[in-house]
Structure 1
Amino acid sequence: MPYTKIKETCLYINDLDKAEKFYHEELEMPLISKVDGRHVFFRCGESVLLCFLPEVTKIETNLPPHFAYGKQHLAFEVKAEDYLEIREKLSKKEIEITHNQDWGGGLSSFYFEDPFGNVLEIVPQGIWE
């Protein structure tokens, strides 16, 4: 099958306003849509990050029900030349780096958590190439 990319990724959270503050204000992702009591969506480069309230979407009737609980993980890719600047910017915003990973070949990534405990990662282009 000729896939081109993963177009959207979902996280399940418990506070839409807190998600909007973190992803839009702290991580500077443009806001696409917010429906009170259901979801908040963000643009992330060419992709879309969907944040849903799982108690609502697990009883969905217009779409297939979907939900998750626990520490979900996703990685955000950045241009290699922007990697260190982004790390510094997050540190200045007092976002704690929880782990640094050396992948060999001069490539590394770092991890941090969102306000819901989801494990987020910043990777420079080239990690999976």
Structure 2
Amino acid sequence: MTGHTPPVLGTLESALYADDLDAATIFWRDVMGLQPFQSVPGRHVFFRVTPSQVLLVFNPAATEQPPRPDARLPVPPHGARGPGHFCLAVAADRLDAWRDHLTAQGIAIEADFHWPNGARSVYVRDPAGNSIELADPAIWG
């Protein structure tokens, strides 16, 4: 044991799970403005968040199955049931615009509050029931 943990560069991908990938695509593309860049019907749709960060939305019924022995990409099975959580960093001065945009799109605001340090978060639900947070990055500052 060396006692030194190798460094990481940051978060590359995050995953949410949804049974209805068409509804997920409409929400993430049309409401949230993320561009899909890869999809396999019934299995997954991937969205670009930043040039180096992606959101992966998987159908857990498809991804919890082990890969076939002849799979080109033998990704281990994974999946989750029930609501997950995903948070997008938003400039503090743009949170009101996001709230207005979401409301205009018919998305219910589940919570909108200031943390003890003064930073703000706005919470909504995606069509799969996942908790989606838009937050001033200062919540962790």
TM-score, scaled relative to structure 1: 0.93
Q: After superposition, what is the alpha-carbon deviation per residue over 1:55-81, rounded to whole angstroms, capped at 9, x for unaligned?
A: 111113121110000011111111222
Report which stretch shifted further, 10-19 or 104-113: 104-113
Alignment counterpart, residue 52 of structure 1, candidates 37, 58, 75: 58
How far off is 1:9 after superposition? 0.5
Superposed CA deviations along residues 31-87 of structure 1, whole A, max 9, x for unmatched, are: 111111210000112410001111111113121110000011111111222222111
Of residues 51-60 and 98-107 in structure 1, the stretch that sits farther from structure 2 once superposed is 98-107
Match of 2:83 among 71, 82, 87: 71
Residue 15 (structure 2) pairs with residue 3 (structure 1): no
| C-alpha deviation, 1:106, in angstroms | 2.3
CA distance in 2, matches of 1:81, 1:100: 14
The corresponding residue for 2:20 is 15
CA–CA distance in structure 1, aligned partners of residues 64 and 85 of structure 2: 20
Correspondence list, 1:62-101, <5 A: 62-101=74-113
1:81 and 1:108 mapped to 2: Cα distance? 10
Matches of 1:14 and 1:102, distance apart in 2? 32
Please, which runs of 5 or more residues in structure 2 have no aligned partner?
A: 1-5, 68-73
Deviation of residue 100 (structure 1)?
A: 2.0
- Whichever residue aligns with residue 84 of structure 1, its letter is D
Q: Contact (CA 8 Å) 2:29, 2:36: kept in 1 or not? A: yes
> Which segments of 5 or more consecutive residues in structure 1 lack a partner in the other structure?
none
**Residue matched to 2:45:** 40
1:122 Cα shift?
0.6
State the one-letter code of the partner of 1:27.
M
